[in-house]
Amino acid sequence: MKEFSYKIQGENGIHARRAGKLVKEAQNFSSNVSIVYNQRIENLKRLFTITCLGVKKGDLVTVKVEGSDETEAAQTLENYFKENL
């Protein structure tokens, strides 16, 4: 399993448009991908659950990736967070 934590930098947190692109990135991989926020663990491949988390600027999230392509998935998703969130 691979994981990383990230403090959200974007003014609007993880809003619907960014969440949609994030979900599409996660769906490119066969590994299970989850996001941990405020003691909740949600599937990062499901848009509704991500937008319902209410992640705001300054919040810390952890992404966990487990599966056959976990290394590539974790790196790609971490880059997405850094570049967009």
Q: Which of 15, 76, 78, 84 is catalytic?
A: 15
CB atoms within 10 A of CB 36: 17
- Chain Cα centroid distance, residue 48: 13
64 included as an active-site residue:
no
**56 φ, ψ (degrees, to nearest 5):** -115, 170
* Catalytic residue list: 15
